[in-house]
Amino acid sequence: MPIVRVALDVPIHGLFDYEVDEPVAPGQRVAVQFGRRQMTGVVMETAAQSDVSPDRIRKVTRVLEDSAPLSSSLLKLLGFCSDYYHHPIGPTVLSALPTRLRSDKPVPVRRDPAFRLIRDPSLLPKRKAIARRIADALAMQPRMLSQLKALSSRVGSELKWLEAEGWIEQCEMPAELPMQSLQLANAHQLNFAQQQAVDAVVQSEGYGCFLLHGITGSGKTEVYVHLMHRMLQPCPESGRREGGQILLLVPEINLTPQLEGYFRARFPATELVSLHSGLSENVRLMNWQQAQSGSACIVLGTRLSVFAEMPRLSLIIVDEEHDGSFKQQDGLRYSARDVAVFRASQSGVPIVLGSATPSLESYHNAQTGRYRLLVLPGRANADARLPDISCINVNQSVMSDGVSEKLLREIGLRISKGEQSLLFINRRGYAPVLMCTECGWLSNCKSCSGKMVLHLKDRKLRCHHCGSQQSMPVSCPDCGHAGLHPVGSGTQRVESLLQARFPDARILRVDRDSTRNKRAWQKMREQIHANEVDMLVGTQMLAKGHDFPSLTLVGVLGADNALYSADFRASERLFAQLMQVAGRAGRADKPGEVLIQTAFPDHPLFRCLERHDFDAWASQLLAERRMAGFPPFVFQAMLRAEGKSERDVYTYLDSARAAAIALQREVEVFGVVPASLARRANHVRAQLLIQAGSRKVLQQFLSDWRIDEIPKGGLHCSLDIDPLEF
């Protein structure tokens, strides 16, 4: 019988041989018996015979033919990820699939219904405004439900009414859409720099990696839109007889619905689907299958969508490419940005990495010629200019609960003008720690080496690392003193201060706590755009991807915390974060101002920020990293271990370190050290760093480093290639 080699979701490197009664193509899902379990796997390759003893080879239980097989190009991409990140091939392949495709249960056949107009829309009641908009859209041509969703959030109920009243009916979409379906709505005239960027990408032949470095408000999204429009068109000259497919990666789920609505409005007749963890299993499966079939022309998603099956892929865009959210921190620890670059190279298509503050790795690649640098030096809105950035020296200022009087006066001035202000503090809760003024007791977490954060409104102490919580004590647990004092500020404390200082102002707090409920963030955005808010207090959720025309003042609190970090990337992240949040001010015709509270106003980071000079700051950091031997001039891998026994953790890592030294390769093996959070959820955490001068040397070393053969003793261990967290 033919032999198939199957990838299974088990933490073992390698494939598993099974017999099959009929020919099965690579990429096909199969149900097999593994030990005592029935599992779903993916056929990676076929063979005429096996090295395994015939009496040990089982037969495939069932070939799952309810979904199309994975393409050879996607299997190759997943194989690359397994090899590069040194992760077992089975978990790599299965984790890339929607949850419903990881089981042997029948895959539901779901389709996106289409509708057509069958009555004169002019006869619709005038009070049915949304129904009339739907009818006007259908008057041009039939539309899919996903396309109509761009018109309103109430499209579903209005479609039911229209269908019940006999205005529309469901239909089959034509196999070929007319060319006007690919037309771009509300096309903006590009400025010279934007047009140059579009032309450079479109005119490139095959693969090319472009770093689009545009200041905040420079119109990077408009460049994306025009590029997408060009790539969606058939191009006989390049052999593309059909329109292409676009993959657009964004860093966070919070940005996805906002961008989805925007791109649906710009491409109203083009099929667009989103892929992210906020979708239900059935919706994610349907969207993934639409991408796989080629019917979805635009796929918008977070990092996992880099593995979406797209047979007509013609362009990849990675927005905010510097963002750490593109790095997966458990399981297969891949960087979606780096995987996207490999996928573009593999598929022979261009890729655009966009950012106002590129990562130093990408910026270095652009400086050395590996990537092509495209620059947008000015704001797209001719009436808008970059905000004025200045520092407030907290050592020479009168402070009220961590906010300077100067900043409070500027906020009051904006309120009197009817303009909006934003206070940015990247720390939620009321205060980072509760302290006894008598004996010095601190609200330490009993399960972690971190502190429990005070949430005053709930009168709770919460650990943001392990999730444990307890009621706020009325007196010190150690000495019984009643003088417990909150130290430092979080978003809730700043909100309380502003409410006391400006009792009539409309204040909105935006953080993970306030946006926990479904649709909460969407409602908040609508309030902001309707100018129903005077002041925003928020975390990094507000730092990027938002355009608030009435926002003219940004105040930054707690910026100095990152300057004390032991992580060599901390200052890079801080500059990017401050540049992003500063870019929220003055995006329309009103001038913007940014005030940063700091004890170090003469620090080079703040000086470069005041000049909006990313190039100078990046050059300084690259020079420091070259001298210190840090990425991007070296390549790193981090072996992490955690467990309940400190002895077991350090014994395992010490053994791994000894094995690394014994190989005598051209790599630097550092000592075993505690993780930055040495204990989390009652687990001890430590790590071992390896680095080499070339990627090839490091990869060869990792292939020969037999860490799987070292007894783990029940520890949770992981190997992180190109680590971002230390």
Amino acid making up residue 204: S
Looking at 644-682, which runs of residues are DSSP E strands?
A: 667-669, 673-680
**Which residues have CB under 8 Å from 648's CB, separation 6+?**
713, 714, 715
What confidence score (pLDDT) does residue 181 get?
47
First to last CA, the chain: 50
Q: How many Å separate Cα 103 from the centre of its chain? A: 26
What confidence score (pLDDT) does residue 109 get?
64
Both tokens of residue 256?
A: 């996805």
> Other CB atoms closer than 10 Å to residue 103's CB: what's the count?
15
SS3 419: coil
Q: Which residues pair with 688 in a beta bridge?
A: 639
C-alpha count within 13 angstroms, C-beta hemisphere, residue 480 = 0
Write the burial class of residue 703 (CB in 10 Å: 0-12 exposed, 13-18 middle, 19+ buried).
Answer: exposed
Q: How many Å separate Cα 478 from the centre of its chain? A: 43
657 with 668: CB under 8 angstroms?
Answer: no
Amino acid making up residue 266: R
Identify the CA nearest to 194 among candidates 168, 215, 165, 164. Answer: 215
457 with 509: CB under 8 angstroms?
Answer: no
Identify the CA nearest to 47 among candidates 2, 84, 87. Answer: 2
Distances (CA, A) of 276 to 9, 101, 248, 285, 286: 21, 16, 12, 11, 12
Both tokens of residue 488?
A: 């430092």
**Which residues have CB under 8 Å from 685's CB, separation 6+?**
640, 641, 642, 649, 674, 675, 677, 678, 679
SS3 sequence, 147-177? HHCCCCCCHHHHHHHHHHCCCEEEECCCCCC
> Other CB atoms closer than 10 Å to residue 704's CB: what's the count?
11
Distance CA 422, CA 420 (A): 7
**Which residues have CB under 8 Å from 64's CB, separation 6+?**
28, 29, 30, 31, 40, 104, 107
49 with 94: CB under 8 angstroms?
Answer: no
Distance CA 4, CA 69 (A): 14
Q: How many helices (H) and strands (E) does the chain have?
A: 19, 34
Amino acid making up residue 304: L
> Other CB atoms closer than 10 Å to residue 9's CB: what's the count?
18
Both tokens of residue 350?
A: 């261009």
20 with 59: CB under 8 angstroms?
Answer: yes
Distance CA 153, CA 254 (A): 17
Domains located in the chain, CATH noted: 3-102 (3.40.1440.60), 118-175 (no CATH), 181-376 (3.40.50.300), 388-431+488-616 (3.40.50.300), 635-721 (3.30.70.600)
Q: How many Å separate Cα 138 from the centre of its chain? A: 35
Distance CA 94, CA 307 (A): 11
User: What Rg, from alpha-carbon coordinates, does the chain have?
Assistant: 28
**Angle of helix 614-628 relative to helix 570-582, nearest 10 degrees?**
170
Phi, psi torsion values for 683, nearest 5 degrees: -115, 130
Tokens 């071992």 belong to 688
**Which residues have CB under 8 Å from 414's CB, separation 6+?**
420, 421, 534, 552, 553
C-alpha count within 13 angstroms, C-beta hemisphere, residue 291 = 29
Distance CA 479, CA 469 (A): 21
C-alpha torsion sign, points 466, 471, 477, 483: positive
Distance CA 399, CA 11 (A): 54
**Which residues have CB under 8 Å from 239's CB, separation 6+?**
none
Q: In what order do the strands lie in the sheet with 469-471?
A: 453-455, 460-462, 469-471
435 with 453: CB under 8 angstroms?
Answer: no
pTM of the entire predicted model = 0.89
Distance CA 27, CA 68 (A): 8
Distance CA 700, CA 707 (A): 14
DSSP structure class, residue 383? T
What confidence score (pLDDT) does residue 217 get?
82
Q: How many Å separate Cα 625 from the centre of its chain? A: 26
Compute the C-alpha angle 358/364/368, nearest 5°: 135
Question: 705 in the Ramachandran plot: left (φ > 0), alpha (ψ -120 to 50) or beta?
Answer: beta
What confidence score (pLDDT) does residue 44 get?
96
Distance CA 376, CA 386 (A): 13
C-alpha torsion sign, points 17, 23, 29, 30: negative
What confidence score (pLDDT) does residue 238 get?
57
431 with 489: CB under 8 angstroms?
Answer: yes
**Which residues have CB under 8 Å from 508's CB, separation 6+?**
524, 527, 528, 533, 535, 536, 537
Distance CA 318, CA 355 (A): 9
Amino acid making up residue 316: I
> Other CB atoms closer than 10 Å to residue 32's CB: what's the count?
22
State how beta strands 551-556 and 593-598 pair: parallel
Where the chain has pLDDT below 50, the residues are 175-181
